[in-house]
Amino acid sequence: MSYGVRQFLMTDPGGNCVRVGQRTGETRDHGPAPEETFARALHHASLLADSKGDAAGAAKVIDRVLGMTDETPTRLQLLQLLVLRADAAGRLGDQETAATALARAAAVDLTDAERDLARDALTRLEDLRAAPRP
């Protein structure tokens, strides 16, 4: 997260959510939003989905930026956006969109250096692919 925490959320069938986090940095303040289009979209979508619990808001941000025709994300950004989109779709019960985003994310061809940078997104991708579907 932009405020120096790595976290995960668990939600039980009754809708109760538990957030578990670990500090990864010294600061507890949100960093400024990046200026670059796709990095900024990822920043805001992550905040919406993971900090605010607003999967629909995150999906809207990601769909808008992935629908752009005048700019394209890097492969790493594309992977991160698609994984977050799949996660948001799953939270919203939209299994078709989740499956499409997961398939697109799995098909992103990364270099070894990009794979190293994408370690967290790739782990999240595998976790989402392995999760049982309703």
| Global model pTM greater than 0.85 | no
pLDDT at 31: 62
Distance CA 95, CA 115 (A): 26
For the stretch 35-76, pLDDT in tens is: 899 999 998 998 888 777 899 999 999 999 999 999 999 999
DSSP 76-97: HHHHHHHHHHHHHHHHTT-HHH
Q: How many residues does the chain have?
A: 134
Domain with CATH 1.25.40 in the chain: 33-130
- Written out in words, the top-level CATH class of the domain with range 33-130 is mainly alpha
Pick the closest to residue 34 from 67, 98, 86, 80 (CA basis): 80
pLDDT tens string 74-123: 999 999 999 999 999 999 999 999 999 999 999 999 999 999 999 989 99
